[in-house]
Chain A
Amino acid sequence: MLLLPYREQRIEKLRRAIYRKKQPVTLFTGQRIIMTIQQIIFILISAFTLFMALVVVVDRNLFRAAIAMMASFLGVAGLYVLLEAGFLAVAQLLVYIGAISILVIFAIMMTRRLMQTHESPFNSQPIWGMIGAALTFVLLALVAIRTWPQSDFPGPAPVPASVLEGNVTQLGLMFVRPDQLVLPFELASVLLLAALIGSIVIAWPEKKS
């Protein structure tokens, strides 16, 4: 009971120390427009990502939806670059665009008879689905804005460039250190192996007897 306020005070003090930063470079200096170039890029990338995601969800043609999904993944990789997580962006390109999308396209082509575009892409509950998704969005956005207001996190944590450059090395070490993530890492590899063998077994053609 006594510990909590003290701890919060410490956290608040730390936060203030971290976020004491200089003003951002504004596009139109001297005016009250606070839109920086970074923000414009962010808005463009997210609009692209969200639009392509909408295409994935509503397009009748499944193949076109798969291509839109690749574009949406590309937009997410762009967001990773904006967040200065270059390694994650490259992993996103390789795993999502390179592997998962190709897998999805293969599945679409192997079930091609169902790619017909004259049928409705929706099941019997598109309206209820839309209402549910909209309510979920309102809930998530409220929680996000209330819990992490702008005054707490106005911008990325200021760190020296060496920290961001060294994080791939640190990530690699983290995955092999016994006191850190070596067990989850090995478990993930076992999971991947099991998934691969399992999918081969499931998709193997049945013998006609």
Chain B
Amino acid sequence: MIPLWWYLVVAALLFCIGLYGVMARRNAVAILMAVELMLNAVNINLIAFWRYTDPADTTGMAWAIFVLAVAAAEAAVGLALIISIYRSRDSVVAEELDTLKY
């Protein structure tokens, strides 16, 4: 039998690996991939709590599916932005995109 905290720790690890990617990668596409990893970690938590507390109530699954839908929307818009930025600035390095700073 797997205790609940195993899932929580694995999800926390996955989340922090994604967080590291978001904070440390140069390439904007890589940052988006790391964000997807973080969303996955959250979903593991949701499903684990659903299964370990009350499986007859499917609210946890419904939340996970909403996260899935929002992740799909986020990926589509994010990648469109990256392609558009690449066309106009010839770069997808997140540190070079600083027009809004000035």
User: Which residues of A are interface residues toward B (Cβ below 8 A)?
Assistant: 21, 24, 36, 38-39, 42, 46, 49-50, 53-54, 56-57, 62, 65-66, 69, 72-73, 76, 79-80, 82-85, 87-88, 91-92, 95-96, 99-100, 103-104, 106-108, 110-111, 114, 119-126, 128-130, 132-134, 136-137, 140-141, 144-145, 148-150, 152-157, 159, 163-164, 167, 170-171, 174-175, 181, 184, 188, 191-192, 194-196, 198-200, 202-203, 205-206
Contacts and interface: CB of A to CB of B under 8 A. Distances in A.
A156 B19 CA distance: 28
Contacts of A124: 95
A124 B10 CA distance: 28
Contacts of A125: 23-24
B1 A49 contact: no
A50 B3 contact: no
Contacts, number: 264
A122 B26 contact: yes
B38 to A, nearest CB: 10
Interface in B6-31: 6-10, 12-21, 23-27, 29-30
Nearest first, the 6 closest Cβ-Cβ pairs linking A and B are A129-B23, A155-B1, A199-B80, A195-B73, A129-B24, A153-B4
A38 B2 contact: yes
Interface centre among B16, B36, B50 (most CB of A within 10 A): B16
Contact of A149 (B5, B50, B71, B75): B5
Interface residues of B, number: 75
B3 A108 contact: no
Contacts of A88: 43, 47, 61, 64-65
Contacts of A69: 33, 36-37
B51 A156 contact: yes
Chain B: interface secondary structure? helix
5 contacts: A50-B17, A82-B2, A96-B40, A133-B17, A171-B58
A33 B48 CA distance: 25
B77 interface: yes
Contacts of B27: 62, 114, 121
B88 to A, nearest CB: 8
B26 A121 contact: yes
Contacts of B3: 150, 153-155
Nearest to A39: B2
A44 B51 CA distance: 20
Contact of A175 (B15, B55, B62, B68): B62
A188 B95 CA distance: 32
A199 B76 contact: yes
